[in-house]
Structure 1
Amino acid sequence: MKRRGVTLLLALAALLGIAAPALADGAQSGADIHVAQSLGDRELTVIIRRVAEVPGPVHVDVVTHAGTPPGELTLTLRAAGAPSSTAKVVLGATPGFHSGLLHVDRPGPWELAVDEATIPFVVPALVPSPWENATYGGFIAAGVLLLAALLLAVFGKVGLALVPTAGMVAAVAAGVTAALLAPSIPPVAAPGTQLDPTYDNVMNPYERTSIVEFSRPPVNMVPGMDGKDLVLSLTDGSSGRPVDDLLVHDSAFIHLVVVSPSGHLRHLHPVRTAPGEFRARLSDAEQGTHAVAAEIARRGGGVQLLRSSVEVSGTAAPRHDATAETAMEIRDAGRPSTITAKFGERDLQPWLGMLGHMIVVGPITGTAVNAPIWAHVHSMLPQTPGLPDRPDESVAAYGPDVPFTYSFPLPGRYLVWIQVERDYSVVTVPKVVDVPAGKVASK
């Protein structure tokens, strides 16, 4: 009997030794944060590289584009309003990447100031998940109980050894169950995507909350001109308070589309200068009424499209955009149409995380201000399985064809602008599309 009990314990020990847990991931440190910024006369992409350890360094890349004036930027990291780290980044005349090194001393909400622009972001905490703790805890407890059972068996107390043996079996079962179920458990939302980030909820992302509805009221937008700068005032549709909870959506806080009276398009990314205040410069603007559309994503909610118009005083003549061969398969209204732009060489760069962008405005019966349909369509980058981040603007290996699929909801004439990046310059190709009426659309 004694020999049989010892044999059983040794078999369980061998099983415990080979039963390695299939570990679940805890709260992730996140990917790099890409934020497009129309800062004065500069078109920049600010990349906050993932923070590997806290305290530790924060690598920041500032990507300049063609036409960006050279000069110096001051990068400042702040937590709780107090500056903690500063770096100078010198921008050369050649577009490309320019790096700065900062430091963080704790997880939680931070703010990166790029001159007068500010970028809120979250430094996540590396916190193990509850099921990861259950996996490790189960196997550690099983190891301790196994040792106790072996000691009791060695000293001839086989009957008593069955008690820790039973506990060991239960601990192994708990650990194995947690390890097997962990991959099927949905991950928690990234810090700051549903709730306003605080040090406490960043340090404990798995804490249960009584909030079940995270969506927030619609946003009101009032545009105005301050010299050459277009200033957007964003307020909460319910409380009237400044909106200061925008998320980075497709590599920008705001995708601002401005269409001039002559039909010239600007795709800008206003910088945050105060809570609820964003601004972007309209250099060399035409005089007249400009149509304005801002695409945003608010914390806890989906994407919103805010539309308005603004009067601009300017003396610039209408601009001429680039050209590109396009293949169009335009179907009846309400059915998917395909537009493919052909750019000749396989040297396109990702812009705003995408291969290409297509802005759609129409049907046009007067000016873009009165068009009922505004849409922002993407041509996606190829999948990169196994890589934590998408390719950035340093990769010039895409194209030459850039396809888009969109269902024009109404018949009529639409203005379409296709945008890609090449040689750190955004190429804009305007097109006019006539959409026929279909049986469904004509009813």
Structure 2
Amino acid sequence: MGKGIAAALVLVLLLVGSPAQADGAPVGQDTAVAQTLGGRELTVTLRRTDGAPAPLQVDVITHVGSPPGTLRLAATPAGESPTSTATIDLRTGPTTAYLRVDRYGPWELELSDGTTSARIPFAVAERVSPAWERTVYGGFVAAGLFLLLSLLLATRSSKLALIPAAALVAALATATTAALLSSTIPPKSTQDKPRPPVNLAVEATATGLVLTLTDSATGRPVDDLQVHHGALIHLAIVSARGTLAHVHPVRTAPGDYRVQFTPTDPGQHTMAAEFTRLGGGQQQVRARVDIAGEQRQPPTPAKGSVTTTPLRAGDPATLTVDFTGPDDLQPWLGMRGHLILTDDTQAVWAHVHAMATTAAAQPDETVAAYPAEVGFTFTFPHPGRYRAWFQAERGYEILTIPATFDVAP
């Protein structure tokens, strides 16, 4: 019986030792958010924190064309005053700042360049053990206690040792069953209930655009947008001449988003805003707005060429863009490339992605190792003329190649 008890002890130690390592797993994950702050196109990455209190690393990538300056960052618990601040000098490429979080729950990262401010919501999540995990740990701990009691009674040659021995077997069986069934138990959903669609109102100001998001059912400000493909809102703006601006409005208050935008030609602009609401899925909302200004020279297209398979309505087509040069493209907004499409009637708006990787951990923009040739697949819904803009990143510069396609019936 002594050898059997010793073997059981070794089994318990092995079983207890393995799950204990999972208890130290990092809490949360990295969150990258694109921000068009003032005249700067930034990518702000909040690195995951291991609980609280803990340091919060914030990486800010400044893209080519952004003016120099300083950026003030502040970590603020929701509804309170900042607990830590930092200031960084903006330059092309990545810059790192360190803040500190001292509690769990909702927070905001405040960004300010002295003129324009943004507030990025994030959460410091406390690790909550699921019921099956608590059952596994509890079963193993109970098994260990029953084993010690059995050893103590066995040394006294007491038949009572059979009682804790039986309890030991039951505890091990319970813990093992919970561990084996853990993969079949779905995690608790964070989406407490479905959300109705969002209404969008756009106003042009002297310096840009103001986007007001309201709940279509209650009319209240919408403040539950989730980071989707590296941004809270992806806003594509197209002028009458066919110039594209792909920007990412900053959140200034619940339901209030703003972006500095200088048109290349005044007049009516059409736009499509893409975002994801907690429990509401992805949504695209379109708008038209008249923007005043002076005629300006449109941005110079990037060097490259576009080739396609035959374009017929209803048939999947492959559109390939070659940005020329070495294979050193960087992922932008988590993707290797972007394709924005619209037809002359504005009935079709599409935003197509070329994935950077299918891995769970997406690379950030410091990785420069992707082919210069990027392929997209798209099915044109009806014949006619389409405008397209292919986008990628190289050397922290957003490259855009426009193209026009005639799609046959």
* TM score, norm. by length of structure 1: 0.86
C-alpha contact (below 8 Å) 2:339/2:388 kept by paired residues: yes
Structure 1 position 7, deviation (Å): 5.1
Checking the alignment, whether the CA contact within 8 Å between 1:262 and 1:318 is kept in structure 2 is no
Does residue 55 in structure 1 map to residue 41 in structure 2?
no
What letter corresponds to residue 170 of structure 1 in structure 2?
A
1: CA distance, partners of 2:187 / 2:22: 8
State the SS of the aligned residue for 2:339: strand
Q: Partner of 1:161: helix, strand, or coil? A: helix
Query: Is 2:197–2:280's contact at 8 Å kept on the other side of the alignment?
Result: no
Counterpart among 329, 336, 341 of residue 321 in structure 2:
341
- Residue 102 of structure 2 corresponds to residue 105 of structure 1: yes
C-alpha deviation, 1:413, in angstroms: 1.4
Compared with structure 1, are the counterparts of its residues 73 and 18 closer, same or farther at alpha carbon in structure 2 (3 Å cutoff)?
A: closer
Pairwise CA RMSD of aligned residues? 1.9
In the TM superposition, 1:21-40 aligns within 5 A as 23=19, 29-40=27-38
1:285 maps to which residue?
264
Describe the superposition over 1:280-322 as per-residue Cα deviations: whole angstroms up to 9, x where unpaired: 1112431110001100101111100000100011112352423
Write the distance in 2 (CA, Å) between the matches of 1:233 and 1:285.
24
In 1, Cα distance between equivalents of 2:124 and 2:11: 40
1:298-313 to structure 2, matched below 5 A, reads 298-313=277-292
**Contact 1:264 1:318 survives alignment (8 Å):** no
TM-score computed with the length of structure 2 as normaliser: 0.93
Aligned-partner Cα distance in 2 for 1:19–1:371: 61
Confirm or deny: 8 A CA contact 2:321 2:375 kept in the other structure. Answer: yes
Give the counterpart of 1:16 among 12, 15, 31.
12
For 1:176 and 1:166, the matched residues in 2 are separated by 15
Tell me which of 370, 374, 377 is aligned to 1:405: 377
* 2:214 aligned partner: 235
Aligned residue number for residue 244 of structure 1: 223
Give the whole-Å Cα distance in 1 for the aligned partners of 2:7 and 2:65. Answer: 72
Residue identity in the other structure for 2:319: I
Number of matched residues?
A: 400
Match of 1:378 among 353, 356, 376: 353
Tell me, in whole angstroms, the C-alpha distance in 1 between the residues paired with 2:404 and 2:308: 11
What aligned pairs does 1:36-435 form with structure 2 within 5 A after superposition?
Answer: 36-82=34-80, 83-92=82-91, 95-115=92-112, 116-158=117-159, 160-189=160-189, 194-195=191-192, 214-317=193-296, 319=298, 320-344=300-324, 345-362=326-343, 364=344, 370-384=345-359, 389-435=361-407
Q: Unaligned regions of 5+ residues in structure 2, if any?
A: none
CA contact (8 A) 1:32 1:389 kept: no
The 3-state SS of whatever aligns with 2:290 is: strand
Q: Which runs of 5+ in 1 are unaligned?
A: 196-213, 365-369, 438-443
Residue 31 of structure 1: how far off its partner (Å) = 2.0
Identity over the aligned pairs, expressed in percent?
47
Letter in 2 for 1:144: L
Q: 1:434 to 1:106 in 2, by over 3 A?
A: same
1:371-409: per-residue Cα shift (whole Å, max 9, x none)?
11101000011344xxx6321111111112111011111
Q: Which amino acid aligns with 2:391?
A: Q
For 2:142 and 2:16, locate their aligned partners in 1 and report how far apart those are by CA, in whole Å: 14
1:126: Cα distance to partner? 2.3
